[in-house]
Amino acid sequence: MERIYLDNAATTPLSEEVIDAMVEVMKTNYGNPSSTHSLGQDAKVLIENVRRQVADYLHVSPAEIIFTSCGTESNNMIIKSCVDHLGVERIITSPMEHKCVAETVLDMKKRRGVEVVYLRPDKKGDFDLVKLEELIKSSDKKTLVTLIHANNEIGNLLDIKKVAEMCKLNDVLFHSDTVQSMAHMEMDFSQIPVDFASCSAHKFHGPKGSGFAFVRKASGLKGIITGGPQERSLRAGTENVCGIVGLGKALELSLDHMEQYASHMKEIKNYTRDRLLAEIDGVKFNGRSAEENTSLYTVLSVLLPFKDPMIGLKLDMKGIAISQGSACSSGASKPSMVMMMILDEEEMEDCTPLRVSFSHLTTKEEIDSLIDALKEIAASFNIEKTNVQHR
């Protein structure tokens, strides 16, 4: 059976060029980057080249890039160290965060007694930034604001510049989980005064197990893994040289083709949206997902007008790999927090969320197959009788 992959927000297939670059490193650069001999130093040079490349992309200094094993580790390190080393006593966050932020914040509440304040979204999944400023100003406690940049379930984009400027003006720390947006859009941290951000290579055709944290210079952040002095002592442990090189190659390819990839994915997303609207009566889209400039072009979050908890399995049996929400919550029996925030009771009862997520490799033919499969499933629910209206 031909496989169709529409779960690119969960992970992306490795690019051939990335595989080649990594294999080359595995074969030839086996030195430990901490060793002083030339084999070690060759490996070190490879890492430092990628650090420079990432720093150029973000318009920051190489010393502000800390390589980690993934987005989860980067977010953990930042949040935990803000509490343990920077004296953060209060965290303002949202119910729209990825589990690796949400659970880490809760852990800090349980184990460190940190006060946690939630900024709730409206039904479109947007945040009221006036309310955010009120929350920031409502306490003298040392505060960290952590808000996701591009939501992994519905694609809503935060005005990261505005929030960063607000945090700076009010003297609070700001971390944004940028895992879904890194390498998919321009990111100029010389203009966006964010303190901390995160990245994961497997979201842009790089390897799993390779990411980085952006840590603003002189922030005072320390690592949570202790040991050797690697990564300026912020992340002990021998570096994943081939993973870092893979991240660098994937970033290079994304940046070289950014315009072309973005325009292809926008076209595919609009095509998917328009075909769904034309052919599935009562279909809706979650959050800002169906809009062009306020949501990430890689994600279309669909609300199907029938209840089918088995939809992922049914599509998989037809050769289509797709998630209902984030990969981390798709196996869970509970609906995702994001959906609970933006859907009303009737929609939760009667509808099925489906996250279609694209890459530059996605074709219209693959979308046609998805639409055919969804129409077949919808027909079995006799959806013509639905009275769910378009939002």
Catalytic residues: 328
Binding residues for ligand PLP restricted to 189-208, rule: CB under 6 A: 200
Amino acid at 51: R
Q: Does 241 bind ligand PLP (CB under 6 A)?
A: no
Task: List CB contacts of 196: < 8 A, sequence separation 6 or more.
Answer: 78, 82, 173, 174, 175, 176, 213, 214, 215, 216, 219, 221
**Per CB under 6 A, which region of 135-143, 174-182, 274-282, 359-367 contacts ligand PLP?**
174-182
Binding map of ligand PLP across residues 316-335, x = CB under 6 A, - = no contact = ----------xx--------
Q: What is the distance between the alpha carbons of residues 152 and 46, in angstroms, rounded to a whole number?
A: 31
In terms of DSSP H, where are the helices of the chain?
16-28, 38-58, 71-86, 99-112, 129-137, 160-169, 241-256, 258-279, 311-317, 327-330, 337-342, 345-350, 364-380
Shortest reach from residue 279's CB to ligand PLP, in Å: 29
Shortest reach from residue 203's CB to ligand PLP, in Å: 7
Residue 164 structure tokens: 């960063």
Binding residues for ligand PLP restricted to 19-78, rule: CB under 6 A: 70-72
Report the greatest alpha carbon distance in the chain.
73
Shortest reach from residue 171's CB to ligand PLP, in Å: 26
Three-state DSSP at 148 gives coil
Q: Which of 44, 51, 90, 98 binds ligand PLP (CB under 6 A)?
A: 98
Find the helix or strand (DSSP H, E) in which 304 lies. Answer: strand 299-304
Compare residues 143 and 152 and give the one whose CB is closer to ligand PLP: 152
Q: Does 179 bind ligand PLP (CB under 6 A)?
A: yes
Compare residues 71 and 353 and give the one whose CB is closer to ligand PLP: 71
Number of residues that bind ligand PLP (CB under 6 A): 14
Residue of closest CB approach to ligand PLP: 71
Contact 75, 177 (CB under 8 A): yes
Q: What is the distance between the alpha carbons of residues 82 and 80, in angstroms, rounded to a whole number?
A: 5
Contacting positions for ligand PLP (CB under 6 A): 70-72, 98, 100, 148, 152, 177, 179-180, 200, 211, 326-327
